[in-house]
Structure 1
Amino acid sequence: MRIRPQSVGFTIFLGALSALPPLSIDMGLPAFPTISAALGASSGSVGLTLSLFMLGFAVAQLVFGPLSDRYGRRPILLIGCGLFTLAGAACTVAPSIGTLIAWRLVQGAGAGAGMVMTLAIVRDLFEGGAARAQLSYVNLVMSVAPMIAPTIGSNVLAIAGWRGIYGTLAVGGLLLLLCVAIGLSESLAHRDLGAIQPPRLIKNYGRILTNRICLGYALVNALNFGCMFAYVSGSPLVMLNVLGVSTTTYGWLFASTALGIMAGSFLNGRLSIYGVLPSRLLIVGIVTATASALALVVISLSGAAQVITLMPLLVINTFCRGIISPNAIHGAIQPVPESAGVAAAIVGFMQMLCGAVASGLVAFLYDGHTAIAMSGVMALFAIASLITYIGLVRSAKYT
């Protein structure tokens, strides 16, 4: 009953693990007003259920990565899925907003195990173009989550209330837990018995953070994620408040950019299988993403921001994310197979950090009547990603 690594089912399984964070975030958003009324909590307190989830998700990766190098990927996935399931069940019956916030922190930690183990497992089992293709297809499956999560959340909210949303997440976590227990073989061939000893742990983290190739690729991925997350956090402000589109229309517009990521991931997977060099794919993706972000700035500053002028550039930008992410992540974890868990943890933590900074900047700079904050932050992170790739990654390869 083991899932074969070369099968479509294996890719779907890894994609489902990676989809836990967006599902956990986006499914609950429609229920925020209901939770506030039901638990007698302020909007800010309900918002902490999202902030604490993301904190748990980010920090847990730094813990689970080294643990997986010591004990293997499968035990850590069992723990992570177990935590996610338990926390989902506890959120379902939470009697107060404080309890809900606490268990969301635990739920985020469980989701963090799924993300970091996905990257480590791909590094364990695949090489070269096959690894980049696998990451592309996982990214493709994962991109479906933000498209369907708000709709699922709204429907569950209408049928079973806000508690039903967390119950649904608990059931999803339980199904993944069973898949790991029954169908997943251990992918780590040689365990590092000293991986969690403080001197070795510090050395492993230091070795990756001082490796210009690993650090450079991790930063390229994280900064590009910041560019995309500036869009994710800024798009409702721009589309709903500035341009006045309906919530239904916004849902379709958001779905079109998610389709852009899926298309980029699929194309990258096919080109990787055909032997196209990752350096070529990366430079084309990064330059195109930067150009589209700068074009968004020009349109925003000129006062020509409309749905018809913004959306083509936003789709192009997210399409580039589907190309950049698999190649950059592979470049970051490929050179250190003996510490793939630590490398994957660094990749995931940096990505979440840049996403949090980007969304914070958009919220801080938003003026209430233009798209300048969203487009400006997108351009800032896109340019930083391009500079990092040229100045850190490519320069390191030629020195």
Structure 2
Amino acid sequence: MAKILLLNAGSSSVKWKVFELTNEKMIAEGEVERINTPKAMITIKYNGEKIVNNEPDLGYEASVRLILKKIQELKIATLDEISTVGHRVVAGGRRFTKATKINAEVLEEIKNLKDFAPLHNPHEAHFIELMQKILPDVDQYAVFDSVFFTDMPEMNAIYSLPYEMSEKYGIRRYGEHGISHGYLSKRTAEILDRPLSELKIITLHLGSGASVAAIKNGKAFDSSMGFTPLPGLTMGTRSGDIDPSIVQFLMDKEGMSADDVMNLLNDKSGILGISGFSSDMRDIEARCAQNDERAALAREIFINRVVKYVGSYYTELGGIDAIVLAGGIGEHQIDLRADLLKELSILGIQVDAQKNQANQEGIISPDDAKVKTLLIPTNEELAMVQQIKKVL
């Protein structure tokens, strides 16, 4: 049976899943973490078992070869059964509006779009090249995170720059996590048993990377992320929204280059920068329990920024039918989720404590709540499979 291998590559990790192409059933999943470090490791979940192996000093190509080796050894799939490889690519700009078969021209354009996602596109392009080298006869497809936001209304997509400059350089709000936000909106309609085209929804993808999307009548209406994935919410290591004058200020005061400041905003800010010790909300929660003031501040700021965006989008949409929480933080941090939703009670958003504690997919608001609050584990990979199948 034909199978599809999906890769979600980053600078220090690569997540993968194998699906049966016809029935869209996931067979196995895993991740290689801490690539290029002495603590590199691979995790595999298959047949109800979880396998963890340490693989010190694993490089990028060795990581891909190890994934394929394990897939064969565990009889997840033979190489002949892998008919398609799908790659998550963050930035597609205005050029890519659907899943796209990768050839030399497409790959070059993905590389050229690095300005829109400097932390993502170069690594994703590198993994595409590795897979083309290792599996040269297998069709490869790119699925773009930005596609969901390509038809966002101009009033929300365009920055208040000289219009000619925006047009010349394609400067606009592209939004990211679009694969996730699109999946969440469709799943919400299924759970509520209502047409997506009639719903007004706010989706929260809350993880190390975090974003909020406003969705109206089944289409993206607004996004907290912008020209790149840097702005918006306070994230694991990203600052989120800041006054752009701070860039010049730090260059003058610290003798930093523009690249230095951008590295600071992308890799050393956010939850990590505020807390001073971790970008992981699980660590923050643990230190909050020990009355760590900076950890508490990081948690408070994270919640505050989400509340600001939700309040803005609620008004922009003229009220909402549902709000959805997803992502590593949204799906697993039960106490933080409850505190966040409590801050939104003025909007008629409520949470049932027992349903929230159960931590299962579905509606977690009281039955009579004006706004339906949902917990939905996001499934970007399934959405990728479905997008690829549309163009196969």
TM-score by length of 1: 0.27
Identify, as 1 or 2, the structure richer in strand: 2
Name which structure has the greater RCO, CA cutoff 8 Å, separation 6+.
Answer: 1
TM-score by length of 2: 0.27
